[in-house]
Structures are given as C-alpha cells and as structure tokens.
Amino acid sequence: MAVRLCVLVSGSGTILEALVDKGVEIALVGADRNCRGLEVAAAADVDAVLVDRSAYGGFGADFDRERYSIDLAQELTSRHVDLVAMAGFGTIVTASFHDAFPSRVLNTHPSLLPEFKGWHAVAQALASGVCETGCTVHVATEELDDGPILAQRRVAVLANDDESSLHERIKAVERELYPAVVTRVMAALDEGRNVSSVAKEMEDV
C-alpha cells in the first residue's frame, strides 16, 4: 500500500508548492490557520484539513498545546496518514503528536543543525559572522529542531547579505532538498525500511 503523506503548513505554502512541482504524492495537507498553503492544496487538487488554533486558545498564553496536538494527531490518523512533513508549520506540537507518528515526522530548518535552532536561525547566522550556513532536513522530535539528521546542504554567506537575501538563497536549496528527502523516505517506508536509513542515501545526492 502506498505511503500516505500529510504536509503541514501555516503560511505561503512555497515548500508545499516545491513538493507538488517535484511530483511528490501528497495525500493530505493540514493547516493550523487560514493561509495561502490551503490555496496551494486546492490548486493542486489535494485534500486539505484546517485544525484551527483559534479553537484552542489562539496564539496567546491560553493556547492549549496538548489538546491541539492530540486532536491534530487524531485528525491525521483518521485519514490514514503514515508520514508527516512539516513545511513552514508554525505550531510546536507535543509528545502526543510525535507518539502517534513515531520517527515519521519530518522537518526542514534553515541552518546547519545543531547550529542556530529556533525561529530566527537566519538572523542568528548573520549575527554570528559565520561564512556559511544552509538547510537541514531531519526527523522532528518533541525537542525543537532536534532529531536525526537526514540531509544537509551548505549555503555561503555573502558580504552584502541581509536576512532576506540569505534566507531566499537557503529557501532555493531547501525547495530542491526537501522533496528529494521526502521522496526517499516514502520509498524507504514502502520497502519496509526505517526513516533513518535514508541519511546514508542522501550523502550522494
């Protein structure tokens, strides 16, 4: 049976577009808010579901992260999702979500992890004065921007870079790397292998 992939989005959906453009078979798109990513799903004729944070306390201190994580996991499992790819998903989920998809949640991050974790990775790279950064595709865990690394690609930091210009060059690499990794992971699962086995394969890609 083919692996059923869900892509989680919160914003413009450019990573989702890259996955679609590369021919990745997507069973479902999930979102935590109304966003352009849902429009991308509709344009690609991919089923989508909105599990809106506003019903769980929104974006402030009242947000019930645990209940949201449980309900999101239940929504995805009810649709027989096997693999989750976060694509600019803006909600940190709890262990309850990861337990529902053990070692089957992927994420892409705009740095060479373990350097520069968190939401401001590109700005942190510029502030640190490093000569290169990049992007990382990894297995997501409850710990933010942690988990086994599947693939990384380097991006040079130019003398005239600002956060926007550097981030755009990272995104260009990310839009090539993430679909390649997701495709390999889906093939591995289809063959009965584990997700981490893809890391060795990606060294030559």
The percent of residues above 90 in pLDDT, for the chain, comes to 92
Give the CATH number, domain containing residue 118.
3.40.50.170
| Cis upstream peptide for 114 (omega within 30°) | yes
Residue 1 has what pLDDT? 60
pLDDT tens track for 82-119: 999 999 999 999 999 999 999 999 999 999 999 999 98
At 43, list the tokens: 């344009």
Q: Are 84 and 134 contained in the same domain? A: no
Q: What is the mean pLDDT of the chain?
A: 95
pLDDT tens track for 8-64: 999 999 999 999 999 999 999 999 999 999 999 999 999 999 999 999 999 999 999
Q: Decide if 167 is catalytic.
A: no
Q: Are 61 and 97 contained in the same domain? A: yes
Q: What is the pTM of this model?
A: 0.94
Q: Are 24 and 56 contained in the same domain? A: yes
Q: Are 121 and 195 contained in the same domain? A: yes
Q: Are 113 and 63 contained in the same domain? A: no
Q: Are 115 and 173 contained in the same domain? A: yes
Q: Which domain holds residue 10?
A: 1-102
Q: Are 67 and 48 contained in the same domain? A: yes
Q: Are 146 and 166 contained in the same domain? A: yes
- Count structural domains, the chain: 2
pLDDT, greater one: 198 or 96:
96
> Above 90 in pLDDT, residue 196?
no
Q: Are 74 and 134 contained in the same domain? A: no
* Across 177-182, average pLDDT: 97
- Give the phi and the psi of residue 38 in degrees, each rounded to 5: -70, -35
Q: Are 78 and 123 contained in the same domain? A: no
Catalytic residue among 109, 120, 138, 167: 109
Residue 67 has what pLDDT? 98
- Choose one of 43, 77, 102: the last residue of a domain: 102
Under 8 Å between Cβ of 140 and 107: yes
